[in-house]
Structure 1
């Protein structure tokens, strides 16, 4: 089943929060395919936008972010940040708003596992980004405690 682009109603009271308003201005009305270009230009900024979205837009655009990561259509120099942004966002959402991520968690886990198992391939230094295997272990534990799996 294809999830539809979030409506303005799905964005709830985005205008009342500066971070949500910024995310709305970048993402609203755009398809996930259109957002790949934005992730390519500024992955850390777009990931920050995802952090502040209401549940429905978050789920829609997080699945698009996963597709972007899987596509590998990003500059090699950006690969460490792409990998870190993805795995860290999954971890942080499970900590801060599990109700936002749990409905799509099963669709995200495989990509997190791939990133953790291929940290060197992404050029993501353990000294800079931490150990992705440790992050994956925490992700699985947080998901289990929150009720997924």
Structure 2
């Protein structure tokens, strides 16, 4: 487990990247030294922003904080007005990070299987606007394929 000092160093490395996104600043504010419940509140306020923040942080930080997004999907009750956006943001981010080969936390991999199962079991809830957000079933199939081929290093 990372200590607070180790995490601070990881954040410093993230900020030191040339052309670091402004989202990195917000990511640290919203994830570092926050409880999972506090992080859930941030996802609930704006899942698109929280997803963008996770997208812009370094792989080590992504591997630490992405499980909170997975838990947000699995543990929180979602409003039907937000469900499509949540599933679209989650699936897009996970697919991107799997394609980049940066997932190194087995917890992410194991929970991805559970989240995909959750989305499949609740497909009509999370996929009632495929013309706007894309077909969730196709995204699930893509991520399932990526997971099947993925090797955690």
| Fold similarity call, TM over 0.5 | yes
Aligned length: 146
TM-score by length of 2: 0.79
Please report how far the alpha carbon of residue 48 of structure 1 lies from its aligned counterpart in structure 2 after TM superposition: 0.8
Are the aligned partners of 2:126 and 2:136 in contact in 1 as well (CA < 8 Å)? Answer: no
Displaced runs of 4+ in structure 1, greater than 6 A? Answer: 2-6
TM-score by length of 1: 0.81
In structure 1, how many angstroms separate the alpha carbons of the residues matched to 2:141 and 2:37? 30
**Distance of aligned partners of 1:20 and 1:91 in 2 relative to their CA distance in 1, 3 Å threshold:** same
Please report how far the alpha carbon of residue 30 of structure 1 lies from its aligned counterpart in structure 2 after TM superposition: 1.4
In structure 2, how many angstroms separate the alpha carbons of the residues matched to 1:41 and 1:81? 12
**Aligned twin of 2:10:** 10
How large is the RMSD of aligned CA atoms in angstroms? Answer: 2.4
Are the aligned partners of 2:88 and 2:133 in contact in 1 as well (CA < 8 Å)? Answer: yes
**Aligned twin of 1:90:** 94
Once the two structures are superposed, residues 40-73 of structure 1 have per-residue CA deviations (whole angstroms, 9 ceiling, x without a partner) of 0010000111111222321232111111111233
Task: Name stretches of at least 5 consecutive residues in structure 2 with no aligned partner.
Answer: none
Among residues 48, 67, 79, which one is paired with 1:75 in the alignment?
Answer: 79
SS of structure 1 residue aligned to 2:125 = coil
Task: Name stretches of at least 5 consecutive residues in structure 1 with no aligned partner.
Answer: none
Indicate the larger mover: 107-116 or 41-50: 107-116
Are the aligned partners of 2:42 and 2:50 in contact in 1 as well (CA < 8 Å)? Answer: yes
1:1-149 equivalence runs, <5 A: 7-16=7-16, 17-18=20-21, 19-96=23-100, 98-100=101-103, 103=106, 104-147=108-151
**Distance of aligned partners of 1:74 and 1:118 in 2 relative to their CA distance in 1, 3 Å threshold:** closer
